[in-house]
Each structure stands twice: as C-alpha cells, then as structure tokens.
Structure 1
Amino acid sequence: MSQELTYEAAYNELQLIAEEIEHEAVSVDVLAEKVKRAAVLIEFCQQKLRATETEVNNIIKQMENNKGTEK
C-alpha cells in the first residue's frame, strides 16, 4: 500500500472481507489470503485503539493536573 493506512480504511476493509466470507463470495483458493489480510488489519486496528486510549488517558491526566494547579 503506497498511502498510509487509516483506522477507518482498515475497518472498512475488514467489513468487506467479513461480508465476502459470510456470503461465501470468496473462493477456497483465496480464502487463506483473505484471512491473513484480516489478521493484519485486526492487529493494526487494535494497535491504533491502544495508542488512542493511551493518548486520551494522558490528555485527561494532564487536564486533571492543570486543574489542580489552578487553585
């Protein structure tokens, strides 16, 4: 992929893969390839969510610390 993958793009691709598999639109010949791609996308999304959670928690802590020093 030449452009950077975003969470939204990864999630949308995962949805498409899931739909193809659920509706048996994937041939047996490419099923393993689709499952491997899904695994990569899932890991990417999990990492993005963890990083975002950490960042949000840090911002909240920073806000709480600033609030305490304003008194």
Structure 2
Amino acid sequence: METPNYSYSKALERIEEILGILEEGDKGMDELSELVKEASGLVKKCKSKLRMTEEEIAKAFDEGKEA
C-alpha cells in the first residue's frame, strides 16, 4: 500500500482519524493491519518533513551569521 502524498497537516489529520478507528476496535485484523501500515507511513513522512524543515531553518540561520 502506497502512502498518499498528503500535506503535513492533512497527514496529521489522517493519523488522528486512523487512531480513532483503532480505538473503536471494531475492525478486522486485516483492516487493522492496513490502517497501522498507513499510519506508520504517514508518521515517517511527517518526521521527514520536520527534519527537512529543521535543516532549512538551521541553514537560514547559519547563512544569516555569515552576512
């Protein structure tokens, strides 16, 4: 299953939606497995986006120090 290319905020919304579904506990094992895989992929994408943003901010501050 390929993780959709959501924006950061949309990915967070989807993760929250998946958590709600998981908390309900009324899905079958196969569907739960797919939801967990989807949430895991979304979390990885969010972490990656945060890392990239952090690097961009650090780079911007480093460039500002040289000026």
The bucket for the TM-score relative to the shorter chain is 0.7 to 0.9
Which residue of structure 2 lines up, in the alignment, with residue 53 of structure 1?
54
Give % identity.
28
Which residue of structure 1 lines up, in the alignment, with residue 6 of structure 2?
5
For residues 53 and 14 of structure 1, what CA distance do their matches in structure 2 show?
A: 22
Would you identify which runs of 4 or more consecutive aligned residues in structure 1 move more than 4 Å?
none
RMSD of aligned Cα (Å): 1.8
For residues 46 and 24 of structure 1, what CA distance do their matches in structure 2 show?
A: 27
After TM superposition, the score normalised by the length of structure 1 is 0.80
After TM superposition, the score normalised by the length of structure 2 is 0.84
For residues 42 and 48 of structure 1, what CA distance do their matches in structure 2 show?
A: 10
* Larger RCO of the pair (alpha carbons < 8 Å, separation 6+): 2
- Number of matched residues? 64
**Over alpha carbons, which structure has the higher Rg?**
1
5+ long unaligned stretches in structure 2: none
> Is 2:42 aligned against 1:33?
no
